[in-house]
Amino acid sequence: MIHENSASRRRFLKSTAGAFAALLASGCTARSLSGSSALASPFGPLVPDPAGILDLPRGMTYRVISSLGDVMDDGLTVPDKADGMGCIGLADGSLALVRNHELKVKDAPGGELVSGFDTAPGGAPLPGGTTTLILDPVTLAVKRQHRSLAGTIRNCAGGITPWGSWLTCEEDVTTPGDEATKPHGWIFEVPADAPGMVDAVPLKAMGRFKREAAAVDPRTGIVYMTEDRDESALYRFIPNRPGHLAEGGRLQAAKVIGQAADTRNWNGSGFAPRGWAEVTWIDLDNPEAPDDDLRFRTADAGGAIFARGEGIHMGEGELYFCCTSGGAAKLGQIFRLVPGVGGEADRMQLFFESESSEQFDYGDNLTIAPNGCLIVCEDQYTDVVDNHLRCVMPDGTAYPLARLRLQTELAGACFSPDGRTLFVNLYSPGTTVAIDVGTAYLG
């Protein structure tokens, strides 16, 4: 578990809310982007990478720290499809990266199949799960890496907890049959300091649905969760005992007051950008949902509808989440949710809606930089992709921060506790890179 570094992490997160106001006051932000006309980035132009992997602004550098096929310390090799990821400080000062592998039942795993939560009917282990990398906090050298969860399906995104673990989410609702022997669609908890494989215990009270990501409010222990469906809901889980998710709790879904329930804006549904709506919560019974109907029950009760909820990240007193195909242009939205304090109502805002592919195109995972901008990973669905890391400033202006030169997606963006290193995954072939952003750009 984390000790002294958890405090530094909380200080880092606390700084993000204040950084928004500081940026606006300092004049660091630029005028809003209009249509498809791109503005010059405050980080400078992207410099072509001689290795043909990742273009960055001058002064930023990257290194590859883990790749598909690398032999790990448990004798296994790094699997493919590196997706969501979290960075957590450990008690000895090391950094832990817990990394998802979004492997489907019939995917070639890119690494050895390992027994865990479930198997195919013939007994073959299922390929999904997580790996954990332990890094030197100064040199970022990999001290060790190992498989930490196995036997799951399509571990897409997740979220870190204030108590030092990673919540990994299955974006799959397979039922027992030809491909699996158990239902899927669960959250599993992976302690960052686990020295090897953890027991794969599904947290069933947190609901069963086509999951994407999770974020924990450190003030209350409430877990907020997104769902990757065209008509998804936004969920929260109120634990019976904060920090002890396996002890059960209550599952709810968001309902907005004063704005359209359909937030997608696909057909002029009218969820106003930058406008605030009060949020109440609908209790959901039968969270194990064998019929995969939580989102439909939510809509029937007047709950909010979102377009493919994806990455979600908690700052100090507020959280942000992406909706990949939301908006009139169907290029993506970012929502901001502020949980109420002292009896105040929760509030939600459509913080950003992309109008052109130069702002961002299918935003997926996201995180918050030390200067308060949102770092968004693109995951385009075109035959030829041109995926970027986008920086969305507090005034809603979007800039390119990095450009991936490979035909795959960017995923799992997360910062080191000191804010100097941005870790990100290249989905396939599964690769993890560390970007030295320094303090001149995002500090």
Average pLDDT over residues 82-88: 98
Q: Which residue spans within 180-298 are E strands per DSSP? A: 187-191, 211-216, 223-227, 235-239, 249-257, 276-283
Cβ distance 171 to 228 under 8 Å?
A: yes
Summarize pLDDT for 393-441 with one digit per residue, the tens.
988 899 999 999 999 999 999 999 999 999 999 999 999 999 999 765 6
Q: Is the pLDDT of residue 2 over 70?
A: no
Q: Is the pLDDT of residue 22 over 70?
A: no
pTM value surpassing 0.85? yes
Q: In this structure, what are the phi and psi dihedrals at residue 15, rounded to the nearest 5 degrees?
A: -70, -20
Nearest to 317 by CA among 14, 10, 9: 14
Cβ distance 393 to 381 under 8 Å?
A: no
pLDDT at 39 (0 to 100): 61
pLDDT at 9 (0 to 100): 35
Residue type, 437: V
CA distance 111 to 74: 12
Cβ distance 232 to 299 under 8 Å?
A: no
Nearest to 413 by CA among 334, 312, 341, 326: 312
pLDDT at 15 (0 to 100): 37
Residue 241 — very low, low, confident or very high, per pLDDT cuts 50/70/90?
very high
SS (H, E, C) 93-133: CCEEEEEEECCCCCCCCCCCCCCCCCECCCCCECCEEEEEE
Residues near 6 by beta carbon (within 8 Å), at least 6 away in sequence = 89, 162, 163, 164
pLDDT at 382 (0 to 100): 86
pLDDT at 7 (0 to 100): 36
pLDDT at 440 (0 to 100): 57
CA distance 332 to 273: 13
CA distance 42 to 59: 13
Average pLDDT over residues 93-106: 97
Q: What is the DSSP secondary structure assignment for residue 253, as one 8-state letter?
A: E
Average pLDDT, the chain: 89
Of all residues in the chain, the percent with pLDDT exceeding 70 is 90
Q: Is the pLDDT of residue 49 over 50?
A: yes
Q: Is the pLDDT of residue 352 over 60?
A: yes
**Tokens standing for 407?**
């035909």
Cβ distance 402 to 46 under 8 Å?
A: yes
Residue 13: its H or E element: helix 4-26
Residue 88 — very low, low, confident or very high, per pLDDT cuts 50/70/90?
very high
pLDDT at 274 (0 to 100): 81
